[in-house]
Amino acid sequence: MRTGRLVKALSGFYYIKVDEEIYQTRARGIFRKSGMYSPLVGDIVDFESDNLKEGTLINIHERKNALNRPQVANVDQILITMSLKSPDFSFYLTDRFIAYSESFDIEPVLIVTKKDLNIDDNLIDKIKETYKMYKIFFTSKEHFDKDLGDIFTNKLSVLAGQTGVGKSTLLNTLLPELDLETGEVSKALGRGRHTTRHVELIEKNGGLVADTPGFSIIEFTHIDKETLKYCFVDFDTPSESCRFRGCNHINEPKCGVKNAVESGDIKQWRYDSYLQIYEEIENYKERY
């Protein structure tokens, strides 16, 4: 029996990498019969094989996380790609992606594209100040931050971000051999076309990157509203001074987080994002 990482799933075949070799396998029927979860790209798996073309996947190791879109397991970081212009930068959408990353205990990394189209330097400063607790990179059509390549080492990365912000272009810059199809932003609709294909892990600077252009739509159906506050890391320290231990920072008196918002230590737009997502989760649970 061998152990390796599942790097591609396509047409019923699972491709498992061990050192420099990739084995083509099929899953044993037990996955369908026993109700076990299906293999996902990124899984650490056990398999049996006498050659590179005919193997059997027999076991999936315990996952630390698993995303539905794209379908990838054991993700270390999500590269949240947002543009300054066309489409305009959205703090709310950025907060959604960051909270989503935190909910899976995945490190968020913010990549802001189209710096060459920006005419408001105050916006860049506002972004840096709001998300100073995270890694932030700014890129443009003519300038690509070389330090961005260093973030992949020993990590499995996926991309996320608003449609049309340049996720495919970014991946093509990082991994020219992919030659991913890129979708231009529709001037009429103000948004891009989805160009997502099957997921495959590609090596980059000692790490692995999912070659899908990423995902732009997320839901918070996997967490409770009481858990959401832990997905806003800038709430952690102020919440220590909350009067009530289970404070959700909504209507409770003597709330440390609300005091921090009033003093400016927590940005108002971050808190507004929290309230909107909280209400979304609350409404979802009531409907179902």
Q: Distance between CA 47 and CA 41 in Å, rounded?
A: 15
Looking at residue 279, its pLDDT comes to 95
Pairwise pLDDT comparison (126 vs 284), residue with the higher score: 126
- Residue 177: pLDDT band with limits 50, 70, 90: low
Residue 268 annotated in ligand binding: no
Q: Is the pLDDT of residue 37 over 90?
A: no
Peptide bond into 213 cis (omega under 30): no
Q: What rounded mean pLDDT belongs to the chain?
A: 85
Residue 41 annotated in ligand binding: no
Residue 247 annotated in ligand binding: yes
Short-list 199, 177, 174, 180, CA closest to 7: 199
Looking at residue 175, its pLDDT comes to 64
Residue type present at position 93? L
Q: Is the pLDDT of residue 123 over 80?
A: yes
Helix (H, G, I), strand (E, B) or coil at 66: strand
Domains of the chain: 2-63 (2.40.50.140), 72-210 (3.40.50.300), 228-287 (1.10.40.50)
Residue 167 annotated in ligand binding: yes
Residue % of the chain over a pLDDT of 90: 56
Residue 166 annotated in ligand binding: yes
* Per-residue pLDDT tens digits for 150-176: 888 999 999 888 777 666 677 666 666
Residue 96 contacts by C-beta under 8 Å, 6 or more apart in sequence?
218, 273, 277
Residue 153 annotated in ligand binding: no
Task: Read off the pTM.
Answer: 0.86
Looking at residue 140, its pLDDT comes to 79
- The answer to which of 45-49, 198-202, 271-275 has the lowest mean pLDDT is 198-202
Residue 165 annotated in ligand binding: yes
Looking at residue 196, its pLDDT comes to 42
Looking at residue 122, its pLDDT comes to 92
Residue 242 annotated in ligand binding: yes
Residue 198 annotated in ligand binding: no
**72-92: average pLDDT:** 92
Q: Distance between CA 178 and CA 69 in Å, rounded?
A: 20
Residue 3 annotated in ligand binding: no
Tokens for 173?
């810059």
Helix (H, G, I), strand (E, B) or coil at 241: coil
Q: Is the pLDDT of residue 116 over 70?
A: yes
Looking at residue 179, its pLDDT comes to 56
Residue 249 annotated in ligand binding: yes
**How crowded is the C-beta side of 31, counted as CA atoms within 13 Å?**
14
**How crowded is the C-beta side of 203, counted as CA atoms within 13 Å?**
7
Q: Are 220 and 99 in contact (CB under 8 A)?
A: yes
User: What's the longest Cα–Cα distance across the chain?
Assistant: 66
Looking at residue 150, its pLDDT comes to 83
Residue 231 annotated in ligand binding: no
Q: Is the pLDDT of residue 105 over 70?
A: yes
Sign of CA dihedral 92, 93, 98, 99: positive
Q: Is the pLDDT of residue 62 over 60?
A: yes
